[in-house]
Structure formats: structure tokens, C-alpha cells
Amino acid sequence: MRTKRISDTQVVCGRRALLDELGISEGSRRAVTERTGYGCGCPECAATQWNTQRLEHWICARLTAAGADEAQVDARIGDLEVDILWRRGDRRGVVEVRSGPLDSTAAREHRERLRAAGIDDVLWVCPQGFWVPLVPAVGIADFAPSAADYRVEQGMLGAGRTGFAAPVAGGAALRDFLEGWVRGEIHWGHADLETGGWADVGTWERHTAAQAAMIEHQRKELRDQRVELAVSRQTVRDKQKLVGRLHNRIDRAGANADAEAITVAGLRSEIVAQQRISASLRATIKRMDRTLNQWQWLTCCAMLLVLTVMVGALVMT
């Protein structure tokens, strides 16, 4: 916990309260104590503040040894307070030291304010955690190493087998990192859309080349997919035309079938009429046959009667 103001009010140990909120408490909270210029009066906060101040002055000395024209601890840039401000020629940079978890949202806002003030190079030195890849930060494991041998355990990137920048295993000396940063050999950049890290110019060149190759490969794939899509669209249009022609044929066939059905219905009605006429003619013929038979019988009877009369007349004569 960093606190530079001296107050006589009584507060609970803020460092332990923060650890309790993160679920990594070191134990029960200490009783309320008097502030003595640090976060509170507990030995842990005093030791943490001393280690943080020692690291700030050590970084200031390393920046100067690496080629910075000047480096100042607890500097101000307008209304902004920064832990370390350094300058090399026209280039200015800021180092913020945090001994506890880093709020990435507040860090981004602070970085934007520094950019508005004309400072683009910002570095956070903080403990390891998920927040390190989200901002230009390096994570160190020990704030109180022996012989001031500070090691960067998180935040460095290296070129992988595919050429893309990826977190490297193993730590690097913080002094070497600061020398490369001041000399412009190490820069921070985005490894993907959300996270980033620090790497040398060669690593970023390989990363950029790998990204360019991937973009070119994706562009070729996109072009091939566009060609396939165009061919598919042409095939679909041809199929639609064929289906349209088939629909037209079906419609014409349906119309012809309707016409044929109407014709067949007319023929059926004519057949029914002819059948009725044939039935009536058959009935007429039957009636005429009966009438003819009747007349034949009457004729026979009449001839027999005439014959009988003639025979009787002959007999009488």
C-alpha cells in the first residue's frame, strides 16, 4: 500500500483490508493503530512502504545509469503526481511503482491523462497478476531481494516458433529491462486484442511479419471463399432458372391437362347423349317390331278368313 500523506487519524490496515477483499488474507486484521507516515503503523505496511521507496530510488538510479539525462522521484506533471519521471533528450517517460494489485481500469485512465500531458512512455512495476498483460507493466516476484537483484517474472514477450510474440518463461533482470527501455530497444505492444507485453524490436519485427503472413493467408482464404461464393451464387442462379423453367412447364402441362379434361368431359357428355339417343332408337325399333308382328298376325288371319270364304263358296257351288 502506497500512501505519502501523513495523518493522525486512526484507520484499519489498508493493506490487509485489500488482501481480505481479494480473498488472500494473511490472517486476522490488526487493531486500529496510529499512522506514522506510512499506510498505517503495522510493521508489514512500514516494511512494504520502505521496500517500495527503495525500489523507486533504485529504478531512478538505473534509469540515469542507462542513459537518461535526468530522473526524479515523486515528480509532478501539471496536476498529475507520478512516482518517477525521467527524460532523455526530448523523450520523457514515467515509472509507476505499486506494491499491491493494480487496477487496470484506473491505470488506463492514468495513462491517457499522461498522454494528454505529452508523455507516451509509461511503465508500471507491480506484483505478478492477471493485470500485468492488460497495461504496460512488468511483474516482479520480490520487492525486497538480496543485493537489489530485482527480477521481471511477468510481462516480457518473446518470439515463438510461429513468430508470434508470446510470454516467455523465466525471469529477466529488471536492470537489463530498464536499460533496453531507455535506449529504445524494448517497447510495449499488443500481442492480441486484449493483452500485450514488452519485447525487443527484433521480436516485434518477427511478430509483425507473422501477423502480415497470417493476414495474407487469411486474405487468400477470403479471396478463395469469395470465388467459391460467387460460383455457388452462379450455381444457385442457374438452379433457380431451371426451377423456373420447370415451373413454367408444369404450369403449361397443368393448363393442357385442364383443357384435355374439359375436352374429355365434353366427349363424355356427347357419349351420354348418343347413348340416350341409341336407347330411344332401340325402344322405337322394339315397338315397331311388335307392331309389325301384330300386323302380320292380322294379315294371316284375314287371308285365312278370305280363303275360308272362297272355299265355302266353291263348296256351295
Q: For residues 150 and 142, what is the distance between their CA atoms, to the nearest angstrom?
A: 7
Which stretches in the chain have pLDDT values below 50? 1-12, 14-15, 17-19, 21-22, 24-39
C-alpha to C-alpha distances, 258 to 40, 74, 247, 250, 252, nearest whole angstrom = 100, 98, 16, 12, 10
Domains (ranges, CATH) in the chain?
1-41 (no CATH), 43-200 (3.40.1350)
What are the residues facing 11 on neighbouring strands? Answer: 33
- Tell me which DSSP letter residue 237 carries: H
pTM to 2 decimal places: 0.61
CB atoms within 10 A of CB 16: 21
CA max distance for the chain: 190
Give the model confidence (pLDDT) of 263-294 as tens digits. 999 999 999 999 999 999 999 999 999 999 99
Q: Is 102 helix (H, G, I), strand (E, B) or coil?
A: coil
